[in-house]
Structure 1
Amino acid sequence: MSQGWLQVKPKPGTMGSNVAGAITVNCLRMMSSPTIPFWHYDTFKETDVRAATKWMIIDRLEQENSQIFSQRVLYDGNKNMYSPEELMLPNGNAGGVFSVPLNYPRKTYTVVIQRVNIIQPVDVKLALMQSGDWDKKQIAINLMNVLLRSYPARLNEITVKGRGFYTKNGSQQTGHGVDFWRGFITSVRPSPSHFIINIDASVIPMYPSSYLTDAVCNYTGRGPGRGPGQLGEVTANTTAAKRLRILILRYIKGLRVLIAHLESSRGPVTKKISDVLWESAASYTFEHEDGTMTVQAYFRKYKNISLKYPDLPILAMIGKNAALPLELLKIVPGQPYRGVLPERVAPNFLTFATQKPQRRLNDLRGSTQLLGLDLLPPTGNLPQRHRSPYLYESGVKVDQTFMQVPARVLPPPALQANQPVSIRDPAQGSWNMTSQRVYRPATVKNLHLILGTAPPGDIQQFTRVVDQMITIWASMGIRCNHQNQQETVITRDQIQDFQGLQGSLNKFYERVKQNKSVGKGNSLVVVFVQDSAKAMRESTKWWGDVWTGIPTQALKVSKLMSQRGLDQYARNVGLKINSKMNTSDGGTPRSGINVYARSLDQTIMRDSPMIVGLDTSHPTPGSQFPTTAAMVYSIDEYATEYRSKVTFQRPRQELISGLKESFMAALQAHSRIEKRSGSFAKRVIVFRDGVSEGQFAQVMEAEVRPILEALKGMSETLGKMGIDHPIPRLTFIVVGKKHHIRFFPQPGSKMADRNDNSVPGTVIDTDITTPEPNLFDFYLQSHGSLLGTSRPAHYSVIYDDSGLSADELEKFSHDLCHVYQIATRSVSVPAPVYYADKLAGRSSIFFHDVFRRNETASTFSDEMTYEDWSNHFDSVRARPENERMYWL
Structure 2
Amino acid sequence: MRAKTNFDTRFLAFEEAAHITTLFIITDFARNFVTAAKAKGMQIDHVQHYVMDPTLLYKHMVEIYTLKKTDPKLKNMIFLHIEPESNKHHDELKLFERRFCMITQHLKMENAAQLAGKKMMMENILLKLNVKGGGHNHYVTPEIYAMPLWMEKQIMIMGYNVCHPTGQSRADKMADRLPDPSVVGFSFNGGVNPDSFIGDYHYQQATRERKSRGVLPPLIIVVRDGISDGQHSHAMDELETLREAAAEYASPVDDYTPHFIFVVATKRHHKRVYADGERGLTNMAAMSVVDDTITDPSLFEFYMQSHTPIQGTAKPTRYTVLKNDVGATQDAMQSLMGALCFEHQISTNAISIPEPVYQSDEWAKRGANNMRIIKQMFGEKGQLKKGFTYDDLTNSLSYWNSPLEK
Tell me the TM-score normalised to structure 1 length: 0.42
1:782 counterpart = 2:306 = yes
Query: What is the SS of the residue equivalent to 1:543?
Result: helix
What is the CA distance between 1:681 and its match in structure 2? 1.2
**2:269 partner letter:** H
Structure 2 alignment gaps of length 5 or more: 170-178
Out of 603, 612, 628, the residue aligned to residue 183 of structure 2 is 628
Look up the match of 2:235: 699
**What is the rounded CA distance, in whole Å, between the counterparts of 2:153 and 2:107 in structure 1?**
41
Query: What is the SS of the residue equivalent to 1:768?
Result: coil
Question: For residues 720-776 of structure 1, what are the alpha-carbon distances to aligned partners after superposition, in whole Å with 9 as ceiling and x for unaligned?
Answer: xxxxx7632100111111112111102458xx9xx931111111111111132xx31
Out of 41, 54, 59, the residue aligned to residue 477 of structure 1 is 41
Structure 1 alignment gaps of length 5 or more: 1-18, 20-408, 410-426, 451-462, 481-486, 582-590, 650-656, 720-724
Look up the match of 1:642: 197
Whether contact under 8 Å (1:630, 1:646) holds in the other structure is yes
Look up the match of 2:290: 764
**What is the rounded CA distance, in whole Å, between the counterparts of 1:611 and 1:648 in structure 2?**
22
TM alignment of 1:80-159, pairs within 5 A: none
Deviates more, 1:875-884 or 1:608-617: 875-884
Question: For residues 331-384 of structure 1, what are the alpha-carbon distances to aligned partners after superposition, in whole Å with 9 as ceiling and x for unaligned?
Answer: xxxxxxxxxxxxxxxxxxxxxxxxxxxxxxxxxxxxxxxxxxxxxxxxxxxxxx
1:523 counterpart = 2:73 = no
Distance 1:866 1:841, change over 3 A: farther
What is the CA distance between 1:515 and its match in structure 2? 2.6
**1:727 partner letter:** T
What is the CA distance between 1:786 and its match in structure 2? 0.5
Look up the match of 1:437: 13
**What is the rounded CA distance, in whole Å, between the counterparts of 2:114 and 2:155 in structure 1?**
44
Look up the match of 2:175: none
Look up the match of 1:741: 271
1:538 counterpart = 2:91 = yes
Whether contact under 8 Å (1:715, 1:727) holds in the other structure is no
**What is the rounded CA distance, in whole Å, between the counterparts of 2:24 and 2:211 in structure 1?**
31
What is the CA distance between 1:560 and its match in structure 2? 1.5
**What is the rounded CA distance, in whole Å, between the counterparts of 1:823 and 1:614 in structure 2?**
21
**What is the rounded CA distance, in whole Å, between the counterparts of 1:437 and 1:866 in structure 2?**
52
Whether contact under 8 Å (2:187, 2:199) holds in the other structure is yes
Question: For residues 492-524 of structure 1, what are the alpha-carbon distances to aligned partners after superposition, in whole Å with 9 as ceiling and x for unaligned?
Answer: 122252xx32222111111111134653xx211
**What is the rounded CA distance, in whole Å, between the counterparts of 1:729 and 1:516 in structure 2?**
44
Distance 1:607 1:468, change over 3 A: closer
Look up the match of 2:149: 604
Query: What is the SS of the residue equivalent to 1:532?
Result: helix
Distance 1:638 1:685, change over 3 A: farther
**2:196 partner letter:** E
**What is the rounded CA distance, in whole Å, between the counterparts of 1:739 and 1:824 in structure 2?**
27
Whether contact under 8 Å (1:846, 1:873) holds in the other structure is no
Over the matched positions of the two proteins, sequence identity in percent amounts to: 23
Distance 1:636 1:569, change over 3 A: same
TM alignment of 1:660-679, pairs within 5 A: 662=207, 665-666=208-209, 668-670=210-212, 673=213, 675=214, 679=215
Whether contact under 8 Å (1:472, 1:567) holds in the other structure is no
TM alignment of 1:322-333, pairs within 5 A: none
Distance 1:870 1:531, change over 3 A: farther
What is the CA distance between 1:553 and its match in structure 2? 1.0
Whether contact under 8 Å (1:765, 1:778) holds in the other structure is yes
Out of 51, 54, 70, the residue aligned to residue 493 of structure 1 is 51
**What is the rounded CA distance, in whole Å, between the counterparts of 2:403 and 2:139 in structure 1?**
21
**What is the rounded CA distance, in whole Å, between the counterparts of 2:403 and 2:198 in structure 1?**
6
Query: What is the SS of the residue equivalent to 2:13?
Result: coil
Distance 1:496 1:709, change over 3 A: closer
**What is the rounded CA distance, in whole Å, between the counterparts of 1:562 and 1:880 in structure 2?**
39
**2:219 partner letter:** R
What is the CA distance between 1:562 and its match in structure 2? 2.8
Look up the match of 1:871: 392
Distance 1:882 1:868, change over 3 A: same
**2:154 partner letter:** S
Out of 218, 224, 246, the residue aligned to residue 688 of structure 1 is 224
Query: What is the SS of the residue equivalent to 1:742?
Result: coil
1:818 counterpart = 2:342 = yes
Look up the match of 2:262: 732
Query: What is the SS of the residue equivalent to 1:449?
Result: strand
**What is the rounded CA distance, in whole Å, between the counterparts of 1:642 and 1:882 in structure 2?**
18
**What is the rounded CA distance, in whole Å, between the counterparts of 1:561 and 1:517 in structure 2?**
28
Q: Tell me the C-alpha RMSD between the 2 structures.
A: 2.9
**What is the rounded CA distance, in whole Å, between the counterparts of 2:389 and 2:64 in structure 1?**
30
Bigger helix share: 2
Query: What is the SS of the residue equivalent to 1:514?
Result: coil
Look up the match of 1:503: 59
**What is the rounded CA distance, in whole Å, between the counterparts of 2:330 and 2:261 in structure 1?**
13
Query: What is the SS of the residue equivalent to 1:746?
Result: strand
Look up the match of 2:369: 844
Question: For residues 810-852 of structure 1, what are the alpha-carbon distances to aligned partners after superposition, in whole Å with 9 as ceiling and x for unaligned?
Answer: 1001000001111110000110000001111112135523321
Distance 1:602 1:706, change over 3 A: same
What is the CA distance between 1:697 and its match in structure 2? 0.5
Look up the match of 2:160: 614
Distance 1:879 1:682, change over 3 A: closer
1:576 counterpart = 2:128 = yes
**What is the rounded CA distance, in whole Å, between the counterparts of 1:527 and 1:882 in structure 2?**
20
**1:839 partner letter:** W
**2:181 partner letter:** P
Query: What is the SS of the residue equivalent to 1:596?
Result: coil
Query: What is the SS of the residue equivalent to 1:833?
Result: helix
**What is the rounded CA distance, in whole Å, between the counterparts of 1:844 and 1:639 in structure 2?**
29
**2:31 partner letter:** D
Out of 464, 467, 479, the residue aligned to residue 31 of structure 2 is 467
Whether contact under 8 Å (2:7, 2:348) holds in the other structure is yes
TM alignment of 1:254-653, pairs within 5 A: 427-449=3-25, 463-480=27-44, 487-495=45-53, 497=55, 500-516=56-72, 518-519=74-75, 522-534=76-88, 536-544=89-97, 546-562=98-114, 565-581=117-133, 591-599=134-142, 601-605=146-150, 608-622=154-168, 624-635=179-190, 639-649=194-204
What is the CA distance between 1:715 and its match in structure 2? 5.7
**2:346 partner letter:** I
Out of 220, 229, 244, the residue aligned to residue 709 of structure 1 is 244
**1:640 partner letter:** D
Distance 1:560 1:634, change over 3 A: same
**1:435 partner letter:** F
Question: For residues 248-273 of structure 1, what are the alpha-carbon distances to aligned partners after superposition, in whole Å with 9 as ceiling and x for unaligned?
Answer: xxxxxxxxxxxxxxxxxxxxxxxxxx
Question: For residues 417-464 of structure 1, what are the alpha-carbon distances to aligned partners after superposition, in whole Å with 9 as ceiling and x for unaligned?
Answer: xxxxxxxxxx421110111111111112111125xxxxxxxxxxxx44
What is the CA distance between 1:864 and its match in structure 2? 5.0
**2:287 partner letter:** G
Question: For residues 222-267 of structure 1, what are the alpha-carbon distances to aligned partners after superposition, in whole Å with 9 as ceiling and x for unaligned?
Answer: xxxxxxxxxxxxxxxxxxxxxxxxxxxxxxxxxxxxxxxxxxxxxx
**What is the rounded CA distance, in whole Å, between the counterparts of 1:881 and 1:597 in structure 2?**
30
**What is the rounded CA distance, in whole Å, between the counterparts of 1:738 and 1:796 in structure 2?**
13
Counting matched residue pairs gives 393
Query: What is the SS of the residue equivalent to 2:198?
Result: strand
Look up the match of 1:652: none
Distance 1:742 1:565, change over 3 A: farther
**What is the rounded CA distance, in whole Å, between the counterparts of 2:196 and 2:18 in structure 1?**
13
**1:433 partner letter:** T
**What is the rounded CA distance, in whole Å, between the counterparts of 2:86 and 2:245 in structure 1?**
45
